[in-house]
Structure 1
Amino acid sequence: MLCTANSTGYGPPTPWLPRDASAIVALANGLSRHIGRRIDAIQAATVAAWTRRAHWRPLAELALEPETEVYLGLLHTDDGAAGAAARAELAAEFLPDFGISTECGLGRHSGEQLEAVLTGWNAYAQERQPALSA
């Protein structure tokens, strides 16, 4: 899990936030190059304010093994499913295959924030549920 620290407002504040996905790419590519074993998945926190294509463009430079799954922490308490969907649409331009997660796990969320994340996750999943044929 690649995490920028706490941006949930619960616990110590994050002293800085990355300007785009470059740090995610640099760290993931470095791990992929230097770790001698298979990497099954990489989960990376993202920033809710990443609302432009330029924030996500670095994802095009990911150089991972084809079997490595990528999960982007697109779900934030601030804007729930709508924000996650908007960020997912932008990220998909540069990384077509990824899963979503919360911004940085759930351990630092308050009870209200946890409820907001779970509600957002459910709404996001409902919108993307494939239609079942009769």
Structure 2
Amino acid sequence: MRHSNTGRKLSRSGNHRKALFRNMTKALLTYGKIRTTEAKAKELRSVVEPLITLALRDDLHSRRLAYDFLGNHQMVQTLFAEVAPPFKGVNGGYTRITKLALPRKGDSAPMAVLELTKESVKTEA
């Protein structure tokens, strides 16, 4: 029985799924938008939004928790300095999933674009 087991397995082992979400999270934080399947986008949303909520707290403990997931100091710095500040005062809804009209060519998987709802403002010095 599947009592209280949430989330999709995506035909991967637990370690493979964790690595997949880490890589996709890094890509989303770097580029602001990624193109993937609908199922992966819906699952990734439940990983990225708590990270942005952590970044809004902006204390040492939240930085360490973010580093524990991302594993890269530059990504943590980007998350806390560029990605999270536009979301100050917003309670959730940091990502948007837009379904694409055409499926993937090889296996006809439904595709979607996962993007951050607010763009980070980069200042030029």
TM-score, reference length from structure 2: 0.29
**Larger fraction in helix:** 2
